[in-house]
Structure 1
Amino acid sequence: MGSNSINAIVRAALDPVVDERVFPSVAPPGTPTPYIAYQRVGGEGSATLDGLSTTRNARMQIAVWSDTRELSTALMDRAMAALCESDIKGTPIGEPVDVYEETTKRHGSRLDISIWYST
């Protein structure tokens, strides 16, 4: 991966999955489904005896939201492909977790993906 911010890398990969409805942390109120929210939730340390490495790791949590369980599952499969079967070469940490938001009646799928990138 060339030099880029992890947020830009993730956003560019996921935009085509949901017609550019990809947001850091949470979607704005009233956002139509489907959409994806993402956030960095840690990662492997990149400090060496020589200081911080220019190769960094981010554990990115991807959350796909839609009106049906089936669509959320299909969209998560597409999001995984976009981040793992591309030049990004992300690595899923486990398997997706299904979620349901009672307040909004939305179905979701959540997964953490480890991504190495250059700063």
Structure 2
Amino acid sequence: MSGVDFEQVMQAALAADAGVAGIVSRRIFPLSAPKGAPLPFITYQRVSGAPEAVLDGDAPCERISIQIDAWAKTYGEAKRLAKAVRGVMAGAEFAAELDEDRDLSDEEARVCRVSMDFIVWA
């Protein structure tokens, strides 16, 4: 991953996965979705990141906390998308670990969301 942001690698891995692409096509956005983006889609954001410290300086890897949200019209669809995302994150070259997830909804907007926090060593 040298010279490339982890987020670019992660987004490419999600977009390349047939299960994820079958649900969201290429609707995977940093921070927030564009206004009017059709559901379902994925948003992601880096929550924190810090280089791993070792005795002789910084290690060549970084501990990253990243939040990925699966957005859909129905709870079932949001859960299916979240399961596909977890599969990619666990099986990709960077092998992220799910730290926690939570189910959310916005009744006014009529949107369901599964928000997942991953820890990644990249």
Please classify the TM superposition score into its range, dividing by the shorter chain length.
0.7 to 0.9
Which residue is equivalent to 2:54?
48
Which residue is equivalent to 2:90?
84
Q: Percent identity?
A: 29
* 1:72 corresponds to 2:70: no
C-alpha separation between the residues in 2 aligned to 1:51 and 1:22? 35
Which residue is equivalent to 2:116?
111
The one of the two structures with greater contact order (alpha-carbon pairs below 8 A, sep at least 6) is: 1
Q: CA RMSD in A?
A: 1.6
> Counting helix residues as a fraction of each chain, which structure ranks higher?
2
Does the 8 A contact of 2:45 with 2:67 survive in 1? Answer: yes
Which residue is equivalent to 1:7?
7
Measured against aligned partners, the alpha-carbon deviations of 1:59-87 in whole angstroms (never above 9, x if no partner) come to: 11000100000000010000000111222
Give the number of equivalent residue pairs.
115
Q: State the TM-score, normalizing by the size of structure 2.
A: 0.85
Gaps of 5+ in 2: none
State which drifts further: 103-112 or 65-74. Answer: 103-112
C-alpha separation between the residues in 2 aligned to 1:10 and 1:40? 11
State which drifts further: 13-22 or 67-76. Answer: 13-22
